Structure 1
Amino acid sequence: MSYQQQQPYQQQQQYQAGPTMQASQGGNRNAKNMPEDGDGRDWSSGICSCADGGACCVSFFCPCITYGKVKHRYEHLHEKGYPDPEHGGGCCSGACWGHCLLTSCFGMGWVLQIFNRTDIRKRYNIKGSGCGDCCMSFWCNPCALSQQSHELELEEQSFQGFKA
């Protein structure tokens, strides 16, 4: 096998997470070292334990803002491999407006949250299912958003020199 044929495989291996879910670029996807089994691990914080009081309040009164920031932070980590220096950007992103319009016009903003929750659950190898993500997004909307934000926060903090 020539060097050129081996290179894509080596690059692919570089970005795969190991058994401790340590990203090769410095982020820890299991910062609290939660125990894992064949189905994955639990969330780092419980659904009723607001890890960050500020995120809980914003999630309760303006879920569109938390949704937009969580979406942006997740996408930045996923695509670039390091935390967003703006920590989710401003409070009026396109994702925020989309969530706001769906919520105010149809009461359906929670539907968008299902996809974020599923993506985050898969990124961190967290136990659960699409049905569970749907139920949590519908019935426990602010708490689910806060929980997702906290999971991202833990990985972001694991990068050396990153300050939220």
Structure 2
Amino acid sequence: MTMEKPYYSQQPMGTPQMSVQQGNRNAKNLPLHNGEREWSEGLCGCTDDCGTFCVACWFPCISYGKNKRRVDHLNSKGYPDPEHGGCCNSDCMVHGCLTGCLGLGWILQIGVRSNIRTRYSIKGGGCGDCMSAWCCAPCELTQGSREIELEEQSFSGHH
């Protein structure tokens, strides 16, 4: 005699004890206007975070690679990257080559800045993204890093 396994047509539902951890995408509770808000920190406030700013000045490829990996991880996994962006990854290498050989690494930053703005419902557009990356790449990289950091810190148990 063969016993058949029961057939289940749907996934089990969550129970009240289960919770989905979610970060706060507006940790400073900035006001929304038409569903969008300002950046949590101004572009010129970059020097308030000296360590991140210095890395962005002298090694923008590292800052770019970390920001890209962190926001991509949040978008795909829903929680902070346990490696906090790592150090040197393929995105870092591409940015470094474009910056070192052609001075064009800032072009890659436009896409990451746009992704950050979209994730956090921040006002702005492509022209502003381009100008901030081109005119002040270290400040733009620091501002993006700080925005991601606010959400990462909002996850319980993450510091």
TM-score normalised to structure 1 length: 0.83
1:145 aligns with 2:110: no
State the 4+ residue runs in structure 1 displaced beyond 3 angstroms.
Answer: none
Query: Which of 53, 59, 63 pairs up with 1:62?
Result: 59
Alignment partners' CA distance in 2, 1:85 and 1:113: 22
Partners of 1:26 and 1:72 lie apart in 2 by 18
Deviation at 1:93, TM superposition (A): 0.5
Q: What SS does structure 2 have at the residue aligned with 1:33?
A: coil
Aligned to 2:28: 32
Map of 1:43-122 to 2, 5 A cutoff? 43-50=39-46, 51-89=48-86, 91-122=87-118
* Counterpart Cα distance in 2 of 1:129 and 1:70: 19
In the alignment, structure 2 segments of 5+ residues that lack a partner are 1-8, 12-19
**Aligned length in residues:** 143
Letter in 2 for 1:114: I
In structure 2, the residue corresponding to 1:28 is in which secondary structure? coil
Residue 144 (structure 1) shift = 0.4
In the alignment, the residues of structure 2 paired with residue 106 and residue 113 of structure 1 have an alpha-carbon distance, to the nearest angstrom, of 15
Q: Return the alpha-carbon distance in structure 2 between the equivalents of residues 25 and 161 of structure 1.
A: 11
Give aligned-pair identity as a percent. 58
User: Counterparts of 1:88 and 1:120 in 2: how far apart (Å)?
Assistant: 15
Q: Distance in 2 between matches of 1:121 and 1:25?
A: 22
- Note the alpha carbon deviations across 1:100-123, whole angstroms, 9 max, x for none: 000111111000000000000000
Residue of 122, 141, 150 corresponding to 1:154: 150
CA RMSD of aligned residues (A): 1.6
| SS at 2:122 equivalent | coil
Query: Which one has the largest radius of gyration?
Result: 2
> How far apart are residue 25 of structure 1 and its match?
3.0
The structural deviation recorded for 1:39 is 5.5
CA-to-aligned-CA distance 1:111-148 (integer Å, 9 cap, x gap): 00000000000000000000110000000100000000
Paired with 2:119 and 2:100, the residues of 1 have a C-alpha distance of 30
Report the AA paired with residue 85 of structure 2. G
